[in-house]
Amino acid sequence: MPKVEIYDTTLRDGTQAENFSLQLEDKLRIAQRLDELGVHYIEGGWPGSNPKDALFFKEIKRYHLKNAQIAAFGSTHHPKHRPENDPNLKALLEAKTEVITIFGKTWDLHVKDALKISLERNLEIIYDSLAYLRPHVKKLFYDAEHFFDAFKDNKEYALATLKKAIEAGADCIVLCDTNGGTLPFELAEIIAQVKKEIPDIVFGIHAHNDAECAVANSLMAVYMGATQVQGTLNGVGERCGNANLCSVLPALKLKMGIDCISDEQLTRLTYVSRYVTELLNLPHPSYMPYVGRSAFAHKGGVHVSAVQRNPRTYEHIPPEKVGNVRRILVSDLSGKSTILSKAKEWGIDLDSSDPKVREILQELKELENKGLQFDIAEESFKLRMYEAEGKLKRDNYLRLLTYRVQDYNTLDGRPVAEAEVWVEVKGAERHAISLGQGPVNALDKALRKALEEFYPYLKEMTLVDYRVRVLPGTSGTEAKIRVLIESKDKECVWRTVGVSHDILEASLNALMDSIIYKLFRDEFKKEEC
């Protein structure tokens, strides 16, 4: 198969996603990561639509990209304008990019109902816009908007728009499934007919994900001869998003054997995917294929045992090829193989014949039965493993003697919580009182206040997430509560969990695990982050 070029539109089409907004600096940073990833084209935005995009095209020229070319995006000229007088086309040329992509109407429905012009006039607009731009750029791409819907409704006219674009000098005709409703077998049938009618067509694919087929449609298009794939990082985009390049790239490279980016560049995929979500302070989708935290996570005991013998038994690719890692999860589904695997990972000396293995496994299942969930909070289980081995004694770090929390309302009606704790640390007792925005925040502050005299590096630790869930099968005042806490310092992020009928006790248990984990890790440098 021929080489396939990757065209990223995260900075333009991706920003049309709900809750996804990029500032200028964000766009510049992501562009650099995309260049490192090896994509061929980065669609920087629509220079005629807003000042931020216009500024991006000016600023990006200061960066020396090694792999990618910057593309400016826009539409065909307005029906009331001539190309040379059209503000949109002028803005595209003022961006001074070597690549321009413009879209035009392919569906007669849009021509009649949206543009309210004749079908013939639309053909003139497509030709005139592309012909006007052609002498000014090295590469000119035409996005045939709504092509597959257009083909289904009026095959002859849809094909006529493509022929006009080719006649005007477009280097590549990008077939767009703009509404995202085309199924793979439909797409294949339509492309086959296009190739029959236009044998020499050079075409690409731009798929949306409204029917959960964007990646499948992109791969099918390549199989049918497409030489350009458009998509976005993490599949972000309007409505249900665009084709996810984090799935498209490894599928092309590893599954179809297609030359698109290098092996080394592919190993950066997970990093770049997570970089984008981290930059925007968004959670990274755990279940995303290839790059998600759960993509190579094994929970069932049978799976764990098999993967340890031969990873191919339950992994379709080696995770390191996309820069991800294999994870063995601890849960009530775990067997001895899981315990032994985690012990090895954490530097705990356990043999399969050691009776501690069965004891740990039994404790694990009992704790999970009570509602603790260690696959989402591994660090809480690590502590129990170190305790079982005898390397960790919680009382050596601190012992909580008593605690009290009260809620108040200020004169202006603001709720305030006060927490009081007594702790024993290295034979000394300390008492601390703190106010907080809620009882958990107050408890966290009081504990730190009591401990920082002995452990000043606790100042590095911050609580970044706090989640509460009422466990299934419980209700009302007898409900059992699970609290998950995520903490971090300058090196690590870790999660701990607590369960109780009392939300404050559950929170305190999770908090105590979080603090103990920090103290133990810093003392022995047990964990690589």
Residue type, 66: K
For 278-314, write each residue's pLDDT tens digit: 888 788 898 999 999 889 888 766 777 787 788 888 8
E-only strand ranges, 426-525: 428-436, 462-470, 481-488, 493-500
- Element at 103 (helix H, strand E): strand 99-105
- Are 64 and 106 in contact, with CB atoms under 8 Å apart? no
Of 15-19, 222-226, 394-398, 406-410, where does mean pLDDT reach its minimum?
Answer: 406-410
For 433-476, write each residue's pLDDT tens digit: 999 888 888 999 999 999 999 999 898 898 888 888 787 655 55
For 142-180, write each residue's pLDDT tens digit: 999 999 999 999 999 999 999 999 999 999 999 999 999
- Reduce the DSSP state of residue 413 to 3 states and report it: coil
CA distance 77 to 90: 10
CATH class of residue range 5-261? alpha beta
Q: CB pairs under 8 A, 24+ apart, for 476-484?
A: 480/370, 480/371, 481/506, 482/371, 482/372, 482/373, 482/506, 483/507, 483/509, 483/510, 484/373, 484/376, 484/377, 484/510
Q: What's the farthest any 2 CA atoms get from each other in the chain?
A: 90
The reported pLDDT for the residue numbered 475 is 54
* pLDDT level of residue 332 (50, 70, 90 thresholds): very low
The reported pLDDT for the residue numbered 357 is 65
Give the β-pairing of 41-45 and 5-8.
parallel
Which phi and psi (to 5°) does residue 154 adopt?
A: -150, 85
Crossing angle of the two packed helices 336-345 and 355-369, in degrees rounded to 10: 100
- Are 485 and 496 in contact, with CB atoms under 8 Å apart? yes
CA distance 162 to 148: 12
372 vs 500 pLDDT, higher one: 500
For 108-138, write each residue's pLDDT tens digit: 999 999 899 999 999 999 999 999 999 999 9
- Are 16 and 74 in contact, with CB atoms under 8 Å apart? no
CB atoms within 10 A of CB 310: 9
Which phi and psi (to 5°) does residue 243 adopt?
A: -60, 130
CA distance 262 to 274: 20
- Reduce the DSSP state of residue 264 to 3 states and report it: helix
Residue with tokens 């191919």: 312
- Reduce the DSSP state of residue 444 to 3 states and report it: helix
Mean pLDDT, the chain, rounded, equals: 88
- Element at 219 (helix H, strand E): helix 214-223
CA distance 132 to 372: 65
**Residue ranges covered by each domain of the chain:** 5-261, 297-388
User: Is pLDDT of 346 > 70?
Assistant: no
- Are 423 and 450 in contact, with CB atoms under 8 Å apart? yes
E-only strand ranges, 269-355: 297-298, 327-328
